[in-house]
Amino acid sequence: MAVLTIPNVFNNGEVIDAPEMNSNFTAVKNFVEGLSQGNNFDTGAIGTADIADSAITAAKIATGAVTSTKIQTSVSLTTPVLGAATATSISASGQVTSHVNINPTTGAYTLVLGDDGKVVEMSNASGTTLTVPLFSSVAFPTGTIITIIQTGAGQTTIAGAVGVTVNGTPGLKLRAQYSAAALICRGTNLWIAVGDLAA
């Protein structure tokens, strides 16, 4: 931290002059006010060990106070870090790695909201059905993409619940074991299946 300089020093037995005393108080006042404005701190004066856990919350950070110029060039992020983000586009350079969660199933299966963005594996010895539920039951947002893979020998049929339209060509069955298809939500209760399909 920067050094606080007191302009006047008094010795025992000396008469204290009011203007000099006021000058000392002013120096202290200015120094403390500077601290509240983020001044008078040496580089590295405050480390993580000096800040209590959860002491800095979102409510204590002014809107726009954290800008890209205040973030170092290379920042290591760990999950969970990012919440919902909205943008018209995201530009990324270098190698971007993403990992998709897999939901292995056996038997007939009805999609749940947690399947959004996942791979659903249908592992069945005999034919079975994957059902897309009604929006009023499971509110999948428009643009949802769910990948379906038939890992079992039993043929998987994709079907919409009553009131749900699923379109696909030439049909809505996965063609063979290890065939895959993507289910894309085009609107409320309106889906399309694209991939290795059969009638």
SS3 of the chain: the string is CCCCCCCCCCCCCCCCCHHHHHHHHHHHHHHHHHHHCCCCCCCCCCCHHHCCCCCCCHHHCCCCCCCHHHCCCCCCCCCCCCCCCCCCCCCCCCCCCCCCCEEEECCCEECCHHHCCCEEEECCCCCEEEEECCCCCCCCCCCCEEEEEECCCCCEEEEECCCCEEEECCCCEECCCCCEEEEEEEECCEEEEEECEEC
Residue 122, domain member (yes or no): yes
Instruction: Quote the pLDDT of residue 69.
Output: 79
On the question of pLDDT at 114 being above 90, the answer is: yes
Mean local confidence (pLDDT), 50-76:
81
Question: Does 39 lie in the same domain as 113?
Answer: no
Residue 66, domain member (yes or no): no
Q: Picking from 43-52, 120-129, 131-140, 170-179, which range would have the lowest pLDDT averaged per residue?
A: 43-52
Question: Does 106 lie in the same domain as 52?
Answer: no
Residue 193, domain member (yes or no): yes
Residue 86: band (very low, low, confident or very high) from pLDDT cuts 50, 70, 90: confident
Residue 86, domain member (yes or no): no
Residue 27, domain member (yes or no): yes
Question: Does 113 lie in the same domain as 53?
Answer: no
Domain limits for position 30? 1-61
Query: How many Å apart are CA 74 and CA 71, to the nearest integer?
Result: 8
Instruction: Quote the pLDDT of residue 75.
Output: 72
Mean local confidence (pLDDT), 162-175:
98
Residue type at 49 in one-letter notation: A
Question: Does 114 lie in the same domain as 49?
Answer: no
User: And the tokens for 92?
Assistant: 């990324």
Question: Does 109 lie in the same domain as 170?
Answer: yes
Instruction: Quote the pLDDT of residue 42.
Output: 76
How many domains does the chain divide into? Answer: 2
**CATH number where 188 lies:** 2.60.120
Instruction: Quote the pLDDT of residue 193.
Output: 98
Residue 85: band (very low, low, confident or very high) from pLDDT cuts 50, 70, 90: low
Residue 56, domain member (yes or no): yes
Question: Does 190 lie in the same domain as 108?
Answer: yes
Residue type at 8 in one-letter notation: N
Instruction: Quote the pLDDT of residue 55.
Output: 85
Report the chain's mean pLDDT, rounded to a whole number: 89
Q: Which residues lie closer than 8 Å to 124 by C-beta, 6 or more apart?
A: 106, 107, 152, 153, 154, 156
Mean local confidence (pLDDT), 3-28:
90
